[in-house]
């Protein structure tokens, strides 16, 4: 990974000034347009069974997921009732005429297509418009390719052009993609993951809509089984770029007979193909509770700048963010951080700081560009903004500790 890579959005200054008065998900829109009202903690592959589904959905809710993509059971009606029962939202598969698509307070929308090329955009646009007209308040959900897809698959010479055409032709309510970075001793493609997030950030800000992304929580092909720190890194790096939703791939391990099941011989999703919990269930439950508590604040934030810095002489890089400087405590090695700067809907500033190492903790000295007494931290355990606390009061300055791949969220009062 390169040091001090900046993902700026200077060309969108005017849009950011306009967006600062309200978060990206709250765009003024016709009454028939879907508006996201909560941070999305979702997953792909709902329970692949018809047995004990109440127990499985109770476990989904207990792990603090908020959205189920896909459905379980013998009928969509049963699935919708079950989501309603356990306080979950869902995006469902639906076939036939739109006027026959099932409706429910739990239903946010309908799955249209996964990873389409540009040639499919006109038909997707037609279907999405029909859903808006005949199912007001819901939307047609489309998930895009990652930026490592070939130009042939994208149907465009560059990834940015692919996304731009999707935005122009389909005019989606939500921008979504999947990207599964290599995190191996012999290969690391996290730089491309950040570049993909930067494209999502740019186009979602320009259209004033939220973006979501899938990350991986299980081994497949050449992707190793991620540690909890690697899962945290994927999630909180997305948050630093302004994502309003993160989705696990996968919740239930695709088993024999499932589409693409040959990719997953190891198993190891949050649940096995037999429906047993793996270690990832408790990891997801811990992380999701933190996201759930962060959610109300994150939904009120609009990205203004995202960059990666190394502890040291980074004052110039941090210009335009709520931070003045991040330095290492004497004796500690240099560390990389992703810094996401935001404007709050009420006019305050906010910043998400992510430890870019998924193998080591970090304990830097942080200097905000305001009086420390005006800085609050949003607690992961409560969601409340309370005065920031020095983790090492015997050292000079303000020290804040970060677990491997972990993040912290701060609000600056005027």
Average pLDDT over residues 191-195: 98
Whether residue 221 is found in the same domain as residue 340:
no
Residue found by looking up tokens 């999701």 in the block:
288
Whether residue 29 is found in the same domain as residue 161:
yes
Q: Which residues pair with 190 in a beta bridge?
A: none
Q: Give the full edge-to-edge strand order of the sheet including 175-178.
A: 139-143, 107-114, 89-92, 67-69, 40-44, 245-249, 211-216, 175-178
What angle in degrees, to the nearest 10, is found between the helix axes of 53-62 and 76-85?
A: 40
Q: Is the pLDDT of residue 267 over 70?
A: yes
Q: Which of 298, 316, 341 corresponds to the end of one domain?
A: 298
Q: Which domain holds residue 396?
A: 301-412
pLDDT digits (tens, 9 = 90+) for 312-360: 888 889 999 999 999 999 999 999 999 999 999 999 999 999 999 999 9
Q: Which residues pair with 44 in a beta bridge?
A: 69, 249
Whether residue 284 is found in the same domain as residue 320:
no
pLDDT digits (tens, 9 = 90+) for 91-140: 999 899 999 999 999 999 999 999 999 999 999 999 999 999 999 999 99
Whether residue 229 is found in the same domain as residue 356:
no
Integer Rg of the chain from CA: 21
What angle in degrees, to the nearest 10, is found between the helix axes of 279-298 and 228-240?
A: 20
Whether residue 136 is found in the same domain as residue 264:
yes
The secondary structure of 290-329, three-state, reads HHHHHHHHHCCEEEEEEEEEECCCCCCCCCCCCEEEEECC
User: Hey, is 243 helix, strand or coil?
Assistant: coil
Q: Which of 246, 275, 298 corresponds to the end of one domain?
A: 298
Whether residue 131 is found in the same domain as residue 144:
yes
Whether residue 260 is found in the same domain as residue 321:
no
pLDDT digits (tens, 9 = 90+) for 273-308: 999 999 999 999 999 999 999 999 999 999 999 999
Whether residue 73 is found in the same domain as residue 216:
yes
pLDDT band per the 50, 70, 90 thresholds, residue 376: very high
Whether residue 106 is found in the same domain as residue 119:
yes
Token pair of 197, please? 């997030």
38-to-63, 149, 244, 294, 296 alpha-carbon distances in Å: 16, 30, 8, 11, 7
Q: Which of 237, 265, 298 corresponds to the end of one domain?
A: 298
**Average pLDDT of the chain, as a whole number:** 92
């Amino acid at each position: 990974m390169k040091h001090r890579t900046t993902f700026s959005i200077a060309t969108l200054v005017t849009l950011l000034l306009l967006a600062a008065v309200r978060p990206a998900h709250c765009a003024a829109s016709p009454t028939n347009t879907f508006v996201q009202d909560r941070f999305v903690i979702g997953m792909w592959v709902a329970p692949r069974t018809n047995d004990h589904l109440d127990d499985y959905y109770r476990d989904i809710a207990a792990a603090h997921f908020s959205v189920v993509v896909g459905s379980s059971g013998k009928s969509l009606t049963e699935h919708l009732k079950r989501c309603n029962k356990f306080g979950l939202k869902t995006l469902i598969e639906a076939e036939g005429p739109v006027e026959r698509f099932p409706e429910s307070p739990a239903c946010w929308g309908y799955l249209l297509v996964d990873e389409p090329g540009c040639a499919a955009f006109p038909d997707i646009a037609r279907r999405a418009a029909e859903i808006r007209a005949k199912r007001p308040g819901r939307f047609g959900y489309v998930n895009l390719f990652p930026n490592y897809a070939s130009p042939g698959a994208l149907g465009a010479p560059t990834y940015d052009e692919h996304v731009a055409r999707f935005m122009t032709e389909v005019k989606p309510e939500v921008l979504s993609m999947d990207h599964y970075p290599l995190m191996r001793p012999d290969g690391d493609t996290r730089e491309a993951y950040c570049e993909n997030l930067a494209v999502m950030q740019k186009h979602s800000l320009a259209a004033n809509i939220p973006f979501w992304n899938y990350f991986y929580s299980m081994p497949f092909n050449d992707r190793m089984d991620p540690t909890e720190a690697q899962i945290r890194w994927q999630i909180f790096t997305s948050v630093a770029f302004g994502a309003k939703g993160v989705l696990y791939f996968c919740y239930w391990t695709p088993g024999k007979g499932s589409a693409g099941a040959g990719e997953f011989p190891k198993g190891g999703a949050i649940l096995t193909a037999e429906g047993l919990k793996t270690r990832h269930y408790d990891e997801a439950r811990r992380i999701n509770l933190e996201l759930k508590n962060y959610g109300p604040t994150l939904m009120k934030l609009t990205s203004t700048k995202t960059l990666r810095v190394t502890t040291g002489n980074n004052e110039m890089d941090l210009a335009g963010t709520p931070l003045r400087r991040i330095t290492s405590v004497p004796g500690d090695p240099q560390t990389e951080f992703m810094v996401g700067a935001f404007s709050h809907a009420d006019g305050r500033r906010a910043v998400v700081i992510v430890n870019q190492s998924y193998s080591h903790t970090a304990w830097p000295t942080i200097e905000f560009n305001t009086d420390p007494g005006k800085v609050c931290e949003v607690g992961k355990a409560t969601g409340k903004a309370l005065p920031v606390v020095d983790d090492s009061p015997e050292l000079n300055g303000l020290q804040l500790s970060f677990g491997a791949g972990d993040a912290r969220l701060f609000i600056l009062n005027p």
